[in-house]
Amino acid sequence: MSGIAGEFRGGERFGRLETESSRWIAICLLSVLGITVFRIVCLAFNRTDLFVDEAQYWLWSREMAFGAYSKPPLIGWVIRLTTWISGGEGTFEVRLAAPILHALTAAAMLHLGRMLYDVRIGALAAIVYITLPGVSLSSLLISTDTPMLLFIVLSMILWRRLATEKDYAGSYALLLAVGLGLTVGLGFLSKYAMAFLFPFVPLAAYLDKGWRIRWSHALLVGLVALVVVSPNLWWNYAHDFATARHTVSIAHWNAASLNFGSALGFFGAQAGVVGPFVFIAMLMALGDMRHPTTRSLSALSIPLLLLMTAQALISRALANWAVGAYAAGILLATPWLAARPRWMRASLILNTTVAVILPLLTIFGTELRLPNGDLALKRYLGRSAVVSTAIADAEKMHANILVAADRSFLAEMFYELRDDRRIAPRAWNEAPQLPSSHYALLYPLQPGEEANALLLSRADSLPSCIKDEKPQSHWVASAGFMERAIVGLWRIPSSCFEGTNHGS
């Protein structure tokens, strides 16, 4: 009888655990689904213009090439998929993948958290992730960080599964290695910053045997990843390694100097990317390195954060350059927060509030101004108005080519003229041997095309060969990214094409 009673109590405990696990999964999935649906609905009513990078990614979606001037091509392929499925190319369709990809990343975070800890920590990690301020912002626009984060988390899942697979010689392990190679390759095709994590993988495996895989599997992973990225490497070779040169140029290594203010600003900005409570939790979790999982997750997050802080110290670094650290960083911070319910509640309340306010701001806050008089969302407003005015004036003057040097103008021009057969957009390329943008690389104004072309420019940014020319039309830019600037259209004299340069 005592044996039967023991079995009954054991079954009862197991049943409670199953019920508890199901409850956490339900809470997690409902939270992720609710936030994602809210974001998609708000995206449908979003009143902002495509940012310059978003419009450029849209152009890549039409080209469907293996590479692009500044970043790898997968973001363009993703946009092509959503615009093809939805049947449109408006701002909603271009951005639609962003909240969906973040939802998939949150689901992957749930699974990875269950593998490393338990279902409760996995569910909390997914909820923490989906409410991060950086995730809330990047759900409103399409960004290369978004698919990269998904592939980082998927890579960690497959890596961990491969490391714990008992039948190393079996076909399942080989399948895991191939899958890991695919996700690593696709992550690299999402954003080259994926490569920053590679040096820390051996460190994580050294600190935690739960991440150690066989050398033969590691070689297979590397081979598959190389096959996946090889078309992009070929594209870069065929285009004189334009992407590599661009990456070096934006890093500003040629003007390196110690700038402690920049480093502190970058480090502090990370609290805005993930929220102050999550960021503090990541750092506080380093106080207990007894557990192998803590050590390995620290190796996959903190060194990258420090590396980008060092980049900010010697030159500059944008706040999102360390975003790859937070795939592991969230799983590092979540157990620390979960052990302190007040911290967890404060974090979720603050980040969820931001997650609600940001999408609503794009609908109801487009006229909201900061104390300095600037529009709060000025980076995402006014682009369509400026370029639409330029196109209308160019049509009145019967121009068949519209030219610009400013990438902000070029991005919107190509997007606005996507179905226009009367006016062709072109890039003003001041140095044909060293293109300054994707547009200058692939769509430069050619000698002879200037005869019936107009240059769109700010009055204070004209090429030297046009500075003495009178504008064919000019106006003051409306509210937004270039508010109060004088913008106009200029004829392009043939003297601009004397010699080899198309400008000053």
Pairing of strands 453-458, 401-404: parallel
Question: Which residue, 386, 395, 403, is CA-closest to 491?
Answer: 403
Least reliable range by pLDDT among 95-99, 144-148, 466-470, 492-496: 492-496
Which amino acid, residue 314? I
280-300: average pLDDT: 94
Which amino acid, residue 342? R
- Number of Cβ within 10 Å of residue 230's Cβ equals 12
- Could you give the CA distance from residue 78 to residue 101 in angstroms, rounded to a whole number? 10
- Could you give the CA distance from residue 55 to residue 91 in angstroms, rounded to a whole number? 9
- Could you give the CA distance from residue 85 to residue 164 in angstroms, rounded to a whole number? 38
pLDDT band per the 50, 70, 90 thresholds, residue 242: confident
Residue 455 parent element (H or E): strand 453-458
Which amino acid, residue 70? S
User: What per-residue confidence (pLDDT) applies to 1?
Assistant: 52
Strand, helix or coil for residue 444: strand
Q: Say whether pLDDT at 107 is over 90.
A: yes
pLDDT band per the 50, 70, 90 thresholds, residue 501: very low
Q: Say whether pLDDT at 3 is over 70.
A: no
Q: Say whether pLDDT at 11 is over 60.
A: no
Residue 57 has which token pair? 């990614």
DSSP assignment letter at 71: S
- Residues 134, 129, 153: CA angle, nearest 5 degrees: 105
pLDDT band per the 50, 70, 90 thresholds, residue 206: very high
User: What per-residue confidence (pLDDT) applies to 499?
Assistant: 52
Burial of 292 (0-12, 13-18, 19+ CB in 10 A): middle
Residue 278 has which token pair? 């999550």
Maximum Cα–Cα distance across the chain: 103
Residue 284 has which token pair? 């506080």
Question: Which residue, 322, 307, 267, 36, is CA-closest to 152?
Answer: 322
pLDDT tens readout for residues 157-167:
999 999 987 66
- Is the Cβ–Cβ distance between 455 and 404 less than 8 Å? yes
- Is the Cβ–Cβ distance between 201 and 152 less than 8 Å? no
Q: Say whether pLDDT at 70 is over 90.
A: no
256-285: average pLDDT: 90
User: What per-residue confidence (pLDDT) applies to 4?
Assistant: 52
Q: What's the whole-model pTM score?
A: 0.91
pLDDT tens readout for residues 482-499:
999 999 999 988 777 765
Pairing of strands 473-476, 453-458: unpaired
- Could you give the CA distance from residue 24 to residue 15 in angstroms, rounded to a whole number? 14
- Is the Cβ–Cβ distance between 351 and 131 less than 8 Å? yes
Q: Say whether pLDDT at 253 is over 60.
A: no
Question: Which residue, 475, 398, 381, 463, is CA-closest to 430?
Answer: 463
- Please state the three-class secondary structure of 129-194 as a single string: HHCCHHHHHHCCCCCCHHHHHHHHHHHHHHHHHHHHCCCCCCHHHHHHHHHHHHHHHHHHHHCHHH
Q: How far lies 164's CA from each of 115, 190, 218, 280, 288, in Å?
A: 10, 27, 14, 31, 24
- Could you give the CA distance from residue 480 to residue 50 in angstroms, rounded to a whole number? 12
Measure CA 299 to chain center: 22
Q: Say whether pLDDT at 204 is over 70.
A: yes
pLDDT tens readout for residues 355-387:
999 999 999 999 999 999 899 999 999 999 999
Which has the higher per-residue pLDDT, 104 or 196?
104
User: What per-residue confidence (pLDDT) applies to 52?
Assistant: 94
Residue 424 has which token pair? 């062709």
pLDDT tens readout for residues 74-100:
999 999 999 999 999 999 999 999 999
Question: Which residue, 419, 400, 464, 413, is CA-closest to 439?
Answer: 413
- CA trace torsion 52, 54, 322, 235 (10° rounding): -100
Which amino acid, residue 430? E
b/e sequence 17-28, b meaning 16+ C-beta within 10 Å: eeeebeebbeeb
Measure CA 410 to chain center: 21
User: What per-residue confidence (pLDDT) applies to 108?
Assistant: 98
Q: Say whether pLDDT at 397 is over 90.
A: yes
- CA trace torsion 188, 193, 195, 197 (10° rounding): -120
Residue 67 has which token pair? 């590479």
User: What per-residue confidence (pLDDT) applies to 446?
Assistant: 84
456-462: average pLDDT: 91
- Number of Cβ within 10 Å of residue 30's Cβ equals 10
